[in-house]
C-alpha cells in the first residue's frame, strides 16, 4: 500500500513537471509575441510600410522600410526558387531512382548536416565565393547564399512528405508500363500540397535569416532595382535601426520587427492551411 502511494506520487510529480515545462514554453512564446506587438504597434504607421527611407532616416526623419520589405521578399523568393530547383530533383531522385540504399542514406545525412550548419558560415562561404568570382555584395549573391541556407530545409521537409505517399502508388503506376520518369509526374501531383508547405517553410526561414545576407546582400536605403546591386532586408533593417542611439529610430526597429513577425506568422498559417485545404485530392 505504501509503495503504491509512492509510485502514484512519482507519476503525478513527473507528469506535473512536464506540464509545467510545456506550459512555460507556451507562456514564453506568448510573451515574445506580446512584447513584439505591444512595443511595435506604437511606431507602426502607413508611412513605415509604404515608403523607402528618406534623407536622415537614421536620425529620426521621415521615410519607411519598404526597401527592406521588398528586398526581403525578393531575397526569399529568389532563394526559395533556386533551392527548389535543386531540392525537388534531389528528393524525387531519392524516391524514384535511388530507392533505399547507401546513396540515399548519404544524401539524407548530407542534407541533415547542412541543416545544422549555421547561417553565418554560409554567409562566410558566400563571401569567399564572391571574392573568388569578383562579385560585389548584391541581390544575386544574397539569393545564392540564402538558397544554400534554405536548401536543406526545403529538401528534408519535402522528403518527409514524399515518404508519406503510399507505396502501392509506385507499384500500381509502374505496373501500367510507365517509365520511372512518368511515375515521377504522378508522384509530384500526389505531393504538390506538401511541396507548397515545404516551399512556404523555406520562404519563411529565408525572410527571417540575417547572418547569411549580412555580407552577401549588403544593405541599401534605396529600393531594389537590379540583381547586381546591394539590397536591404528586414532583419538587418531591425538590427541597424536598433543600433542607432535615437529612441525614435529604435521605435521604428520595434515596428519593423512587428512587420517581420507578422509576415512569418502569416506564412506559417498559410503553410498550415496548404496541408489541410489542398490535400483534398490526394490519395491517402
Partner 1 sequence: MEAIHDTSLARPAPATAPRRPHRRLSRRRWLKDSSAQSLFGLAAAGVCLLVVLITITLVARSWPILQAYSVSELLAGKSWQPLRGLFGFAPFIAGSAAVTAVAMVLAVTPAVFSGIYLAEYTSARTRSALKPLIDLLVGIPSVVYGLWGILFIVPLIRDYIGPWSDRTVGQIIPFFARTNPSGYGLLAAGFVLAVMVFPLIVAVTEEVLRSVPREMRETLLSLGATRWEATKCIVRRSGMAGILAAIVLGFSRAFGETLAVMMLVGNTAQVPGSLFDAAYPLPALIANNYGEIMSVPLYESALMGAALVLLLVVLAFNVLARLTINRVAGRR
Residues 63-102 that bind partner 1 (CB under 8 A): 86, 89-90, 92-94, 96-98
- Selected range binding partner 1 among 46-54, 138-146, 188-196, 251-259, rule: CB under 8 A: 251-259
Residue 59 near partner 1 by CB under 8 A: no
Q: Work out which of 37, 188, 251, 264 binds partner 1, going by CB under 8 A.
A: 264
Residue 220: CB minimum distance to partner 1, A:
15
Question: To which residue does cell 534605396 refer?
Answer: 222
d(CA 243, CA 214): 15
Q: How far apart are CA 115 and CA 109, in angstroms?
A: 10
Name residues whose C-beta falls within 8 Å of residue 255's C-beta, 6 or more positions apart in sequence.
Answer: 40, 41, 42, 43, 44, 45, 48
- Where does this chain touch partner 1 (CB under 8 A) — which range of 18-26, 44-52, 55-63, 223-231? 18-26
Question: What is the C-alpha to C-alpha distance for residues 9 and 119, in angstroms, rounded to an integer?
Answer: 46
Question: Which part of the chain contacts partner 1 (CB under 8 A), choosing from 50-58, 61-69, 73-81, 108-116?
Answer: 108-116
| 154 near partner 1, judged by CB under 8 A | no
Shortest Å, Cβ 136 to partner 1 = 12
Residues 197-216 that bind partner 1 (CB under 8 A): 204-205, 207-211, 214-215
Under 8 Å between Cβ of 67 and 223: yes
* Other CB atoms within 10 A of residue 231 CB: 32
Amino acid at each position: 500500500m505504501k509503495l503504491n502511494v509512492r509510485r502514484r506520487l512519482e507519476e503525478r510529480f513527473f507528469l506535473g513537471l512536464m506540464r509545467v515545462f510545456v506550459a512555460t514554453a507556451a507562456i514564453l512564446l506568448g510573451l515574445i509575441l506580446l512584447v513584439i506587438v505591444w512595443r511595435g504597434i506604437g511606431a507602426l504607421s502607413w508611412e513605415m510600410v509604404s515608403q523607402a527611407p528618406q534623407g536622415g532616416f537614421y536620425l529620426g526623419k521621415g521615410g519607411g522600410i519598404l526597401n527592406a520589405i521588398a528586398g526581403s521578399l525578393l531575397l526569399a523568393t529568389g532563394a526559395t526558387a533556386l533551392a527548389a530547383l535543386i531540392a525537388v530533383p534531389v528528393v524525387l531522385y531519392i524516391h524514384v531512382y535511388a530507392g533505399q540504399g547507401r546513396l540515399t542514406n548519404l544524401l539524407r545525412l548530407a542534407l541533415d548536416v547542412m541543416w545544422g550548419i549555421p547561417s553565418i558560415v554560409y554567409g562566410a562561404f558566400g563571401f569567399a565565393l564572391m571574392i573568388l568570382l569578383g562579385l560585389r555584395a548584391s541581390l544575386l549573391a544574397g539569393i545564392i547564399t540564402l538558397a544554400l541556407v534554405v536548401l536543406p530545409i526545403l529538401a528534408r521537409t519535402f522528403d518527409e512528405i514524399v515518404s508519406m505517399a503510399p507505396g502501392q502508388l509506385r507499384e500500381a503506376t509502374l505496373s501500367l508500363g510507365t517509365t520511372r520518369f512518368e511515375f515521377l509526374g504522378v508522384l509530384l501531383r500526389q505531393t504538390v500540397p506538401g511541396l507548397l508547405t515545404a516551399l512556404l517553410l523555406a520562404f519563411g526561414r529565408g525572410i527571417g535569416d540575417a547572418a547569411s545576407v549580412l555580407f552577401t546582400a549588403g544593405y541599401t536605403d534605396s529600393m531594389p532595382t537590379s540583381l547586381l546591386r546591394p539590397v536591404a532586408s528586414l532583419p538587418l533593417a531591425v538590427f541597424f535601426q536598433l543600433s542607432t542611439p535615437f529612441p525614435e529610430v529604435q521605435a521604428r526597429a520595434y515596428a519593423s520587427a512587428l512587420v517581420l513577425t507578422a509576415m512569418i506568422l502569416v506564412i506559417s498559417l498559410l503553410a498550415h492551411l496548404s496541408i489541410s485545404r489542398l490535400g483534398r485530392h490526394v490519395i491517402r
